[in-house]
Amino acid sequence: MGRLILRRLLATVPVLLLVTAGVFTLIHLTPGDPIDVMMAESIDATVKENLRRELGMDRPLYIQYAAWMGRLLQGDLGRSIRNREPVIENVSRRIRPSLQLAGLAMAISLIIATPIGILSAARRNTSVDRFGTSFALFGICMPNFLLALLLIFFFGVKLRWLPISGYTDPLEEPWLGLRSLVLPAVTLGLALGAVITRTLRSSMLEALSEDYVRTARAKGLSEWSVIRGHVLKNALIPVVTVLGLQLGTLIGGAVITEYVFALPGVGRLVVDAVFARDYPLVQGVVLLIAVGFILSNLLVDLLYGWIDPRIRYR
């Protein structure tokens, strides 16, 4: 197991190289530069030139990339152009809200999806199933920003139950913090829950048609025992796959949700960085998001083996 993890981690190195090189090229090819954005209302061309030189932006691209890689190998992600703060500080401050949001959203999605998915499959083609499928369709079709604004309108403006924007760290002030995360987490959790509902339902249906289910039923087990003991675990593989991919996306930033709720997370950070053409910051965040994806996929692969012993890694 230890060797497997090590091998997988080593295999990520070329992936990361490709990702950084790709992002570096793309962001530099995009028209517009950070100095213009910073000094939109200033006229002094020499100041702009000084800044450009100071930031090393007057050098050829491949040298800039090499310099960036060189610093990266020493653990230095560089400094944000816009606020001159080390990228690592920017990112580490922003990762916490994003992780909390991702965790809470995932929990909410599972709480919604597990019963609905199971019931939909077990009571296939009944009104329960139709309700479940409609719910999933609604969750998938509803754009995040619209759902967010509706939630804000009802629970924030009309009922005034929950704060509608901003962030408090739940680790410092649990009650306030949790309240500030509820609406964004529900926004994300509902959409994710819908996807998981559908996945769970279809993989359950597949498992329900297997021979071992017929055997179990023939032994006289109750339907609930069949589902709990035989179907559910086997139906979990696709669900775990979806969850793993979604976790990467959530950590990488649920951009729109963070934007609407003014949550200081990674998603908003990277969008602002792109708009400001803040090259080092964009690079740093993308690197982090890539690592997040790779780790969550690794986690998924390990879970496969645990859920279904037939899946073995050599």
Binding mask 144-163 for another protein (x = CB under 8 A): -----x--xx--xx--x--x
Binding mask 251-270 for another protein (x = CB under 8 A): --------xxxx-x---xx-
At a CB cut-off of 8 Å and minimum separation 6, what does 220 contact? none
Q: How far is the CB of 297 from another protein (least distance, A)?
A: 29
Residue 51 binds another protein, judged by CB under 8 A: yes
Residue 100 binds another protein, judged by CB under 8 A: no
Q: Work out which of 68, 82, 188, 232 binds another protein, going by CB under 8 A.
A: 82
Q: How far is the CB of 191 from another protein (least distance, A)?
A: 18
Contact segment (CB under 8 A) with another protein among 3-11, 25-33, 98-106, 216-224 equals 25-33
Q: How far is the CB of 292 from another protein (least distance, A)?
A: 20
Q: How far is the CB of 277 from another protein (least distance, A)?
A: 5
**With respect to another protein, which residue has the nearer C-beta, 51 or 140?**
51
Residue 126 binds another protein, judged by CB under 8 A: no
